[in-house]
């Protein structure tokens, strides 16, 4: 077996493990699910100073007030 | 990438703290935002039965996948101008005079009028255009009804965005691959520029890969934000992507950087490909693309040696004169470099797992061969029509288990320009009934003037919409549509990937808004064909689709945020590829049988017309909008109050135009108004036109169309043969000749200022 073939097999095993962990992490019910959730969370977390997804518009959003939306929908200012 | 830290079991026990705790009085649901076609998993928060906030998912695999369009959705759908009741036209078409009717009365009239049209002209006289991320719950039901009734004339925006890529990918290796960002070592972006608020999950994935050490190559005429982060930026001439890829192949083949075992065992046509590639020495490619030959070679070597590499789907090559060749060249690069169906490369995943897929729901087998042969445009531009895809039926059955694979809804389409010509009375037969759902067709395809003519020539137009779009203004009926907040949804990733996601219903739809599922069910009933859509509710329909899993929709939605099939790689070693030869067809036997060049080629631009010395490109999204939508949302309009044409400082100086000045952009078809925005990132001689502009606050109705006649880019998009891809019949939107006119303060044309020759 060539080195490339071995590398593909290794990466394929890793991809399967990631998929299983992501599936269990998404379900997040049993203890093993929660362990997967924790591990996936930790593996994907980024330090705040390196976090390219931080954005004030998103981070500071608090949504809308339901009465405000009701009035808006009725055309009232 | 954070440094690994020691595992502490106590942290698992405490991990729940990372979940956001429910707030008093707030109900949360897991949803999929379909504000755009990227479809982020999000969480909705409701109070008093109304969604008041959309935030990012608690699931770490969807972390931060939300943008400004998503968070403003609760207000966007609460807009007082939303259509809440069925409307019937009472004046002349486009008069803007409507009366409110019931759904039942609307369907009774629509059904009888459609049946009369079919009786007079045949079922092919009924055409439909949709954008299925907007409609959400179509799930193939529209095609299913059309196939039973006998019409092949269905089209969609996917004809020039993703759907056509899927169809063309089949010509090389039989399926539309998904790029493995998680394990790739090199990413190639062809003109595509995902950013924090546009294509957010793709941006997230690219940045994560770069943080992990993956290389990034960007080919883009603009110095985009992606280009600034790239390891190599190739500032190619607009629309020259296919030529650039020929240059890469020249380097990779000459320097023997390809996967020889794969080429020898799994491809056909390599020697003919080599001969074709030899027609593109780097000096010629440099001239065609404007790129430095050394940089072209460096990028090619990086792609071939740093791998596994990916060339993710890009809409840019979907919209070019050489689209088929540019897409095929991407397929060929993936193949000969050995990146097909390997971790970190491009994976051929097949149909969504354990689900009754949409291609099955569509029931293409019930449409007779005689009716399939009537599909408009399939004679001249057959690549993504029934005729073009015919040869993949048997191999797809062999490899993927069923004959029809309508991947990304793009494999059995009517080319849009052929459809609109027939609707305008210029086709092989008349089309007299036109339905559009979640789609603004007038502004979504080239040659808007033709589309307006086509719509004015219809006997029946039905729109299923949330707002009174310019296209809806010309309809006979406008029926109120629900939104993604107001319905459940089962996402199968366009029928081409091995995962399923769910979206819970977050609130009741306002007024009489109904889902696309209910629209099609109602229409089937109105045509006395209730048996075509036999499910009582959308949830019943989802129960049916999930039968193989042995769970109900309710159970599935409660437990499966996302459902994966275990990934498998190198599957072709067992099954072969889903092509007529079972191999990767570098030389396409199917294109040859259709009468086209079986190898990729590069068709150069027509000679420069001195009246139109500039080039424009369109199709680019602005962060606050998706396609022609969202101009009614105040928060988004504050960010983008007017349509902006981007030009370089050099072009602005030569044309003597200033930042913020109103100009006209004109070509042979039309002229539209834009404000000037001078951008350092733009190359000289190129004008970027934003896609899909109209202003909901402006006057409605024929002759006005809420500003669409003033601003819509579709008016400048040509569909004459020089500007169509030969195999697909889709338009060239990346390099259309134009000029810029100055305008006086009263808005009239003052003079043409673009009489500058650009090399």
**Better pLDDT: B288 or B135:** B288
**Sequence ranges of the domains in chain B:** 9-77, 87-162+350-564, 178-347, 614-752
**Please, which pLDDT band fits residue B749 given cuts at 50, 70 and 90?**
low
As a whole number of angstroms, the distance between CA B86 and CA B69 comes to: 27
| B68 contact residues in A (CB cutoff 8 A) | 57-58
Neighbours of B551 (CB within 10 A): 16
Task: Give the per-residue pLDDT at B131.
Answer: 85
Return residues 335-354 of B near A (CB < 8 Å). 338, 342-344
Closest to A58 (Cβ–Cβ): which among B66, B204, B568? Answer: B66
Mean pLDDT score, A38-55: 91
B24 Cβ under 8 Å from any chain A Cβ = no
Q: Residue B268 is inside which H or E element, if any?
A: strand B267-268
> What distance in Å separates residue A1's CA from the closest CA in chain B?
13
Is residue B7 over pLDDT 80?
no
Give the residue on A whose Cα is nearest the Cα of B26: A66
Whether chain B has a CB inside 8 Å of the CB on A70: the answer is yes
Q: Does A17 touch chain B (CB under 8 A)?
A: no
Q: Which residues 165-204 of B are in CB contact (within 8 Å) with A?
A: 180, 182-183, 196-197, 204
Distance, in angstroms, between A27 CA and closest chain B CA?
6
Computed over every residue of chain B, the mean pLDDT equals: 94
Residues in chain A within 8 Å Cβ distance of B45: 63
Structure tokens at A62: 């608090």
**Partner-chain residue, chosen from B12, B50, B183, that has the shortest CB–CB distance to A66:** B50
* Residue appearing with tokens 């030569």: B654
With beta carbons under 8 A apart, name residues in chain A contacting B61: 22, 25-26, 40, 44
Alpha-carbon gap, residue B141 to B144, rounded angstroms = 5
Q: What pLDDT, in 10s, does the model give residues B23-62?
A: 789 999 999 999 999 999 999 999 999 999 999 999 999 9
- The catalytic position among B8, B14, B37, B609 is B37
Percent of chain B with pLDDT over 90: 91
Is A48 a residue whose pLDDT tops 90? no
Q: The domain B178-347: what is its CATH number?
A: 3.40.228.10
Which is it for the CA torsion B52, B539, B57, B186, positive or negative? negative
Count CB pairs under 8 A between chains A and B. Answer: 136
A34 and B63: CB-CB below 8 Å?
A: no
Provide the pLDDT confidence category of residue B143 given band limits of 50, 70 and 90: very high
B37 classed as catalytic? yes
Chain B: give the shortest CA distance to residue A19, in Å: 6
Q: Which of residues 35-64 of B touch A (CB under 8 A)?
A: 45, 47-48, 50, 52-56, 59-61, 63-64
Nearest CB partner across the interface for A47, out of B2, B47, B53: B2
pLDDT tens-digit series, residues B201-254: 999 999 999 999 999 999 999 999 999 999 999 999 999 999 999 999 999 999
CA of B200: which chain A residue's CA is closest? A53
| Residues of chain A contacting residue B304, judged by C-beta atoms under 8 Å apart | none
- What's residue B746's pLDDT? 59
Per DSSP bridges, beta strands B671-678 and B644-647 are parallel
Q: Establish how many alpha carbons lie within 13 A of residue B185's alpha carbon, considering only the half-sphere containing its beta carbon.
A: 11
Q: Is the pLDDT of residue B552 over 50?
A: yes
Q: Which domain holds residue A22?
A: 3-73
Question: Of the CATH numbers 2.40.40.20, 2.60.120.260, 3.20.20.70, 2.102.10.10, which one belongs to the domain with range B614-752?
Answer: 2.40.40.20
**Per-residue pLDDT band at B11 (split at 50, 70, 90):** very low
Of B63, B344, B559, the CB nearest to A44: B63
CA distance B101 to chain A (A): 21
A chain contacts of residue B66, beta-carbon cutoff 8 Å: 58
Please, what's the b/e burial string for B684-699 (b: 16 or more CB within 10 A of its CB; e: otherwise)? bbbbbbbbbbbbbeee
ipTM value, please give it.
0.96
Q: Do A64 and B570 touch (CB under 8 A)?
A: no
Joined together, the tokens standing for residue A5 give 């073939």
Cα B298 to chain centroid distance, Å, stands at: 31
Cα–Cα distance measured from residue B423 to residue B471, given in angstroms and rounded to the nearest whole number: 15
Could you tell me which chain B residue has the CA closest to the CA of A67? B48
- Which residue in this structure is represented by tokens 């003052």? B750
Tell me the HSE value of B512 on the side-chain side, using a 13 A CA sphere: 14
Residue from A19, A58, A76 to probe the interface with B (highest B Cβ count within 10 Å): A58
CA distance A62 to A66: 12
Geometric angle at alpha carbon B357, from B356 and B361, rounded to 5°: 85
Q: Which residue has the higher pLDDT, B745 or B579?
A: B579
Q: Which of B377, B388, B379, B317 is nearest to B154 (CA)?
A: B377
Fold of B9-77: N-terminal domain of TfIIb (2.20.25)
**B13: pLDDT confidence band, cut at 50, 70 and 90?**
very low
In CATH, B87-162+350-564 is 3.40.50.1970: no
Looking at residue B6, what is its pLDDT? 42
Residue B754 confidence (pLDDT): 38
pLDDT for B747 equals: 56
The total number of structural domains in chain A stands at 1
pLDDT at B18: 52
């Amino acid at each position: 077996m060539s080195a490339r073939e071995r590398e593909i097999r290794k990466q394929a095993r890793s991809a399967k493990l990631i998929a299983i962990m992501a599936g269990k992490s998404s379900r997040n019910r049993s203890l093993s699910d929660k362990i997967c959730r924790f591990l996936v969370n930790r593996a994907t977390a980024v330090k705040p100073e390196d976090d390219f997804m931080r954005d004030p518009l998103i981070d500071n959003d608090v949504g809308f007030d339901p009465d405000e939306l009701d009035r808006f929908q009725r055309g009232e200012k | 990438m954070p440094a690994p830290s020691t595992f502490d079991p106590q942290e698992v026990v405490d991990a729940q703290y990372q979940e956001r705790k429910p707030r008093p009085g707030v109900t949360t649901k897991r949803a999929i935002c379909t504000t755009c076609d990227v479809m982020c998993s999000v969480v909705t928060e409701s109070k008093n039965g109304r969604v008041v906030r959309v935030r990012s998912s608690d699931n770490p695999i969807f972390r931060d996948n939300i943008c400004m369009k998503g968070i403003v959705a609760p207000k966007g759908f609460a807009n007082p101008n939303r259509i809440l009741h069925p409307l019937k036209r009472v004046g002349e078409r486009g008069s803007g005079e409507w009366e409110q009717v019931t759904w039942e009365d609307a369907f009774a009239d629509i059904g009888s009028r459609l049946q009369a049209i079919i009786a007079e002209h045949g079922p092919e006289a009924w055409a439909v255009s949709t954008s299925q991320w907007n409609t959400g719950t179509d799930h193939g039901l529209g095609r299913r009804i059309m196939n039973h009734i006998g019409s092949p004339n269905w089209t969609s925006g996917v004809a020039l965005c993703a759907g056509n890529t899927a169809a063309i990918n089949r010509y090389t290796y039989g399926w539309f691959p998904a790029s493995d960002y998680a394990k790739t070592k090199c990413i190639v972006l062809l003109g595509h520029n995902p950013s924090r608020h546009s294509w957010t999950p793709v941006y997230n994935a690219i940045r994560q890969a770069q943080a992990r050490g993956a290389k990034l190559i960007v080919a883009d005429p603009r110095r985009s934000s992606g280009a600034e982060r790239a390891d190599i930026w190739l500032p190619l001439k607009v629309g020259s992507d296919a030529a650039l890829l020929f240059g890469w192949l020249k380097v990779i083949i000459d320097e023997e950087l390809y996967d020889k075992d794969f080429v020898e065992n799994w491809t056909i046509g390599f020697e003919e490909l080599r001969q074709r590639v030899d027609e593109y020495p780097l000096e010629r490619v440099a001239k065609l693309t404007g790129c430095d030959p050394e940089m072209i070679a460096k990028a090619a070597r990086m792609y071939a040696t740093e791998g596994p590499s990916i060339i993710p789907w890009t809409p840019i090559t979907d919209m070019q004169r050489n689209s088929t060749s540019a897409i095929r060249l991407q397929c060929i690069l993936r193949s000969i470099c050995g990146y097909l169906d390997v971790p970190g490369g491009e994976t051929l995943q097949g149909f969504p797992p354990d689900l009754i897929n949409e291609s099955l729901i569509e029931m293409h087998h019930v449409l007779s061969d005689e009716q399939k042969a009537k599909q408009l445009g399939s004679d001249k531009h057959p690549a993504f029509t029934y005729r073009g895809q015919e040869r993949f039926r048997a191999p797809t059955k062999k490899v993927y288990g069923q004959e029809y694979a309508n991947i990304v809804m793009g494999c059995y389409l009517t080319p849009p320009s052929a459809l609109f010509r027939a609707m305008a009375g210029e086709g092989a037969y008349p089309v007299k009934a036109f339905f559009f759902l979640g789609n603004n067709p007038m502004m979504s395809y080239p040659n808007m003037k033709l589309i307006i003519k086509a719509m004015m020539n219809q006997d029946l137009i039905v729109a299923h919409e949330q707002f009174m779009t310019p296209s809806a203004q010309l309809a006979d009926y406008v029926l109120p549509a629900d939104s993604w907040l107001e319905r459940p949804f089962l996402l199968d990733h366009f029928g081409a990937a091995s995962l399923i996601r769910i979206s819970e219903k977050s609130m009741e739809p306002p007024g009489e808004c109904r889902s696309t599922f209910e629209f099609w069910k109602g229409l089937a009933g109105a045509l006395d064909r209730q048996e075509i859509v036999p499910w009582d509710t959308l949830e019943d329909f989802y129960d049916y689709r999930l039968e193989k899993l042995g769970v109900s929709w309710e159970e599935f939605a409660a437990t499966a945020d996302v459902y994966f099939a275990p990934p498998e790689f190198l599957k072709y070693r067992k099954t072969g590829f889903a092509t007529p030869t079972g191999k990767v067809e570098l030389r396409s036997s199917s294109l040859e049988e259709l009468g086209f060049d079986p190898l990729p080629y590069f068709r150069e631009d027509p000679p420069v017309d001195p009246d139109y010395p500039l080039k424009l490109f369109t199709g680019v999204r602005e962060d606050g909008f998706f396609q022609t939508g969202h101009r009614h949302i105040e928060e988004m309009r504050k960010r983008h109050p007017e349509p902006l044409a981007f030009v370089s400082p050099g072009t602005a100086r030569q044309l003597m135009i200033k930042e913020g000045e109103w100009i006209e952009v004109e070509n042979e078809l039309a002229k539209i108004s834009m404000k000037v925005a001078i951008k350092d990132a733009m190359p000289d001689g190129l004008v970027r036109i934003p896609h899909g502009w109209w202003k909901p606050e402006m006057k409605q109705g024929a002759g006005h169309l809420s500003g669409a006649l003033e601003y819509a880019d579709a008016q400048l998009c040509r569909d004459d043969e020089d500007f169509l891809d030969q195999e697909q019949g889709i338009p060239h939107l990346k390099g259309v000749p134009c000029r810029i006119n100055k305008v006086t303060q009263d808005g009239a044309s003052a003079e043409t200022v673009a009489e500058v020759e650009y090399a």
